[in-house]
Structure 1
Amino acid sequence: MVTAITQGVKISVETIYQDEHSNPANEHYMFAYRIEIENLSDYAIQLMRRQWFIFDSNGSIREVEGEGVVGVQPVIEPGESYSYVSGCNLKTDIGSMRGHYSMNRLVDETSFEVDIPEFQLIVPYKLN
């Protein structure tokens, strides 16, 4: 698990290789990732947008951005957290992702960015 704290928001990421949804013969490797967003600040925040950079070990880079996460723009109260699971496919058995969330502090509508720490996407047999 990797973790980072930016402006009072803690992001933790876990990854799981999805063997049953992968097809290495066709260069298709599927990974799931679980993200927990914990509000350590004194103010309610809302996740407005996300931006991802996805790196494949063949040198390709994809950028994905959009509103919210998994179809929602969650409000996270002080001391609370929000978790979700999503997925990513790669053409190689090793890669990584990183990015950021655009947040709003609800008390004064201040916008700020929270870093999503870079995390590795590695097929388990590559680690042996």
Structure 2
Amino acid sequence: MAADQLPFYYRITSGIRITVRPSYLRERSNPLLGQFVFAYHIRIENVGEQAAQLRTRRWLIHDESVGDSVVEGEGVVGEQPHLVPGQVHEYRSFCVLKAPNGWMEGSYRFVRDDGSSFLAVIPRFMLAAEPRADTVS
């Protein structure tokens, strides 16, 4: 599937728009060993009227083989971007599932310049390996 045909998901919370575009990395996966690698491109855009800094992240990852896991931490890929109105921060990351299908969702905790904080929702997005040649679509 070409990049412009990949599905994308978005949600706006408290003036922060989060867009996610996941993709399956066939060349990095090894289905025989139960390793399905997915990349996801995240775009975080301040569409509100106040500046805010991304402080923490919380991911819920669902793998059809092993169930759910939670990943929490500071910032995103080592950064805690401060976004003024109209500013965008983008990054890529990846996850490895044992099953060919699953999903991710979560939230980023932002702190505004006045000290108030809120959770910006990361919409649930599907992770699906491309159909195998030996399956019927």
Task: Give TM class, smaller chain.
Answer: over 0.9
Following the alignment from structure 1 to structure 2, what is the Cα–Cα distance between the partners of residues 98 and 43? 25
Following the alignment from structure 1 to structure 2, what is the Cα–Cα distance between the partners of residues 68 and 58? 28
Following the alignment from structure 1 to structure 2, what is the Cα–Cα distance between the partners of residues 43 and 6? 13
| Normalised TM-score (structure 1) | 0.95
Kindly indicate which of the two structures has a greater share of residues assigned to strand.
1
**2:46 matched residue in structure 1:** 39
Q: Which amino acid in the other structure matches residue 84 of structure 1?
A: Y
| Normalised TM-score (structure 2) | 0.89
Match of 2:122 among 108, 111, 116: 116
Is residue 66–residue 98 contact of structure 2 (8 Å, CA) maintained in 1? no
Following the alignment from structure 1 to structure 2, what is the Cα–Cα distance between the partners of residues 42 and 98? 25
Following the alignment from structure 1 to structure 2, what is the Cα–Cα distance between the partners of residues 31 and 91? 11
User: Mind listing any 5+ residue stretches in structure 2 that lack a counterpart?
Assistant: 1-7
User: Mind listing any 5+ residue stretches in structure 1 that lack a counterpart?
Assistant: none
Match of 2:55 among 48, 54, 58: 48
Following the alignment from structure 2 to structure 1, what is the Cα–Cα distance between the partners of residues 29 and 55? 31
Following the alignment from structure 1 to structure 2, what is the Cα–Cα distance between the partners of residues 74 and 21? 29
3-state SS, counterpart of residue 109 of structure 1: coil
Following the alignment from structure 2 to structure 1, what is the Cα–Cα distance between the partners of residues 81 and 20? 17
**1:93 matched residue in structure 2:** 100
Q: Which runs of 4+ in 1 moved over 6 A?
A: none
Following the alignment from structure 1 to structure 2, what is the Cα–Cα distance between the partners of residues 75 and 102? 12
Following the alignment from structure 2 to structure 1, what is the Cα–Cα distance between the partners of residues 37 and 118? 31
CA RMSD after TM alignment: 1.3
Deviates more, 1:55-64 or 1:71-80: 55-64
3-state SS, counterpart of residue 69 of structure 1: coil
